[in-house]
């Protein structure tokens, strides 16, 4: 098997999700990585610890035009004779993987959550996390887009030589006019720990207790749909069916009742802690741990107890 993994390094860094995709590829076959953007060679160096035999880097193609990225990735797939092409199922993966699939007539498995079985079948997330689908690809080539944080990141050592790669990709059809960056330290889609809150917090002025706990844990902050709809929190923090879906190791939800639409965005989390004054809140049925209590009382206590634990270790 010859595998090509596309990773997005536009921010100049290699993310944990990218390391996951490279390691996933290396467990399938001999893996080449293709990437674009202004990224330092030293940053790409680490890919050799996760199974990259070769890294092809293009510093001129910007990410905004999915058709240019498609040409770059298709050219790389031809150069290395790849039969499996892997993406992370994130914003860039969703824009580019379907194009690459249609271009190469290579069946696309989106939202994979496990390595391919011996018969080639791959487990995916369907019905907004309420079921799994076992998918088979019938074409000679295949494209897999991997759900972030769904598979174990294995360290595998390989050559990892970095080469410049500049195939013909045409001119961009999409022009970027402006970029608005989000505030905050930890990216929600990358976060292993997430602290989230809903209407139970009663107003945006009360988010200090959520942010304090997130800071202690090194967690990202998130919120429910009503909270972003009424403008207490920015839209990019909204997790759920219409917002973003996340799969952190720990999801702490305070003052969120747990409607089915909210669960669709978080039910892939490994451990869910629910804090709610209402013992009948539906979220308790989806939780691993629960506290029937007031977020204003419980969140500061939790923060103190975690600080105590951190002081011990």
Partner 1 sequence: MKFLVCISKVPDTTSKIDFTDNNSKFNEAGVQFIVNPYDEWYALVRALELKESLGGSVTTITVGPATDEPIIRKALAIGADNAVRINAEPGDAYFTAHQIAEYAKANAFDVVLTGKETINYNGSQIGGMVAELMGTPYISLATKMDLNGNTATLEKEMVGGVEIVEVNTPFVLSAAKGMAEQRIPNMRGIMAARTKPLEVIEPVPCDDLTSFVSFELPPEKSEVKLVDADNIGELVNLLHNEAKVI
Q: Which stretch binds partner 1 (CB under 8 A): 48-56, 151-159, 194-202, 271-279?
A: 271-279
**Residue 233 found at the interface with partner 1 (CB under 8 A):** no
- Roughly what angle, to the nearest 10 degrees, separates helices 208-217 and 295-312? 20
> CB-wise, 31 or 101, nearer to partner 1?
101
52 has which bridge partners? Answer: 31
Among 1, 176, 203, 208, binds partner 1 (CB under 8 A): 176
CA-wise closest residue to 6 among 57, 67, 68: 57
CA-wise closest residue to 213 among 204, 222, 205: 222
10 Å Cβ neighbour count for 97?
27
Size of the site for partner 1 (CB under 8 A): 96
**Residue 230 found at the interface with partner 1 (CB under 8 A):** no
**Residue 22 found at the interface with partner 1 (CB under 8 A):** no
Least Å distance between CB 137 and partner 1?
5
**Residue 231 found at the interface with partner 1 (CB under 8 A):** no
> CB-wise, 14 or 26, nearer to partner 1?
14
Tokens standing for 127?
Answer: 């019905």
Residues 240-269 that bind partner 1 (CB under 8 A): 241-243, 249-250, 260-261, 267
Among 106, 169, 201, 227, binds partner 1 (CB under 8 A): 106
Among 175, 205, 231, 280, binds partner 1 (CB under 8 A): 175
User: H or E element: which one contains 36?
Assistant: strand 30-36
Among 41, 42, 105, 280, binds partner 1 (CB under 8 A): 105
Distance CA 87, CA 202 (A): 40
Edge to edge, what strands does the sheet with 84-88 contain?
A: 122-126, 107-112, 142-146, 84-88, 2-8, 30-36, 52-58, 161-164
Sign of CA dihedral 103, 104, 108, 112: negative
Distance CA 168, CA 234 (A): 39
Among 22, 26, 65, 194, binds partner 1 (CB under 8 A): 65
Least Å distance between CB 157 and partner 1?
27
> CB-wise, 29 or 184, nearer to partner 1?
184
């Amino acid at each position: 098997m010859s595998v090509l993994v596309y990773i997005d390094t536009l921010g100049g860094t290699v993310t944990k999700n990218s390391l996951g995709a490279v390691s996933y590829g290396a467990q399938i076959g001999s893996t080449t990585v293709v990437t674009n953007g202004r990224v330092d060679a030293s940053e790409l160096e680490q890919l050799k610890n996760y199974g990259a035999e070769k890294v092809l880097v293009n510093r001129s193609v910007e990410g905004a035009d999915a058709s240019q990225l498609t040409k770059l990735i298709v050219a790389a797939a031809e150069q290395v004779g790849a039969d499996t092409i892997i993406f992370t199922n994130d914003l860039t993966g969703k824009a580019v993987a379907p194009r690459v699939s249609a271009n190469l007539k290579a069946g696309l498995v989106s939202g994979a959550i496990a390595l391919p079985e011996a018969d080639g079948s791959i487990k995916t997330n369907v019905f907004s996390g309420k079921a799994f689908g076992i998918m088979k690809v019938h074409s000679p080539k295949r494209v897999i887009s991997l759900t972030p944080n769904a598979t174990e990141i294995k360290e595998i050592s390989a050559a990892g030589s970095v080469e410049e790669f500049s195939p013909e990709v045409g001119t961009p059809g999409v022009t970027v006019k402006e970029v608005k960056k989000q505030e905050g330290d930890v990216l929600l889609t990358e976060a292993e720990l997430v602290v989230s809150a809903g209407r139970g917090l009663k107003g945006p002025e009360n988010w200090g207790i959520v942010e304090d706990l997130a800071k202690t844990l090194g967690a990202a902050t998130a919120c429910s749909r009503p909270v972003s709809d009424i403008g207490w929190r920015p839209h990019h923090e909204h997790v759920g069916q219409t917002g973003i879906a996340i799969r952190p190791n720990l999801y702490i939800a305070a003052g969120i009742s747990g409607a089915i639409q909210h669960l669709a965005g978080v039910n892939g989390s490994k451990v869910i802690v629910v804090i709610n004054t209402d013992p009948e809140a539906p979220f308790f049925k989806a939780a691993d741990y629960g506290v029937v209590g007031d977020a204003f009382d419980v969140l500061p206590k939790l923060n103190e107890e975690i600080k105590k634990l951190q002081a011990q270790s």
